[in-house]
């Protein structure tokens, strides 16, 4: 099944208040994960489709059928 990964721009804007809301969304069918980082375990492609956005309104996203590891807490930040 195709997984689509895109940015949650509303959370990015809201985090300007110093918050730490997840800003990455991973969608696989009806499953939706909100996270801080993702690791794609195989090939993927980036899609830009302003004429046919996702139902969320995203016009640019990553697509993959590979396994995706979603990290809810920030990783690699000291």
pLDDT, tens digit, for every residue of 23-47?
999 999 999 999 999 999 999 999 9
Confidence of residue 75 (pLDDT cuts 50, 70, 90): low
Q: Is 26 exposed, middle or buried (0-12, 13-18, 19+ CB in 10 A)?
A: buried
Confidence of residue 56 (pLDDT cuts 50, 70, 90): confident
- Pairing type for strands 24-28 and 3-7 reads antiparallel
Give 6's DSSP letter.
Answer: E
d(CA 38, CA 30): 18
Q: Where are the domains of the chain?
A: 3-71
């Amino acid at each position: 099944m195709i997984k689509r990964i895109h940015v949650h721009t509303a959370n990015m804007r809201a985090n300007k208040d110093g918050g730490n809301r997840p800003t990455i969304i991973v969608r696989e069918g009806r499953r939706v994960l909100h996270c801080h980082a993702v690791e794609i375990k195989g090939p993927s492609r980036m899609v830009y489709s302003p004429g046919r956005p996702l139902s969320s309104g995203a016009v640019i996203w990553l697509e993959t059928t590979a396994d995706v590891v979603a990290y809810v807490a920030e990783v690699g930040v000291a």
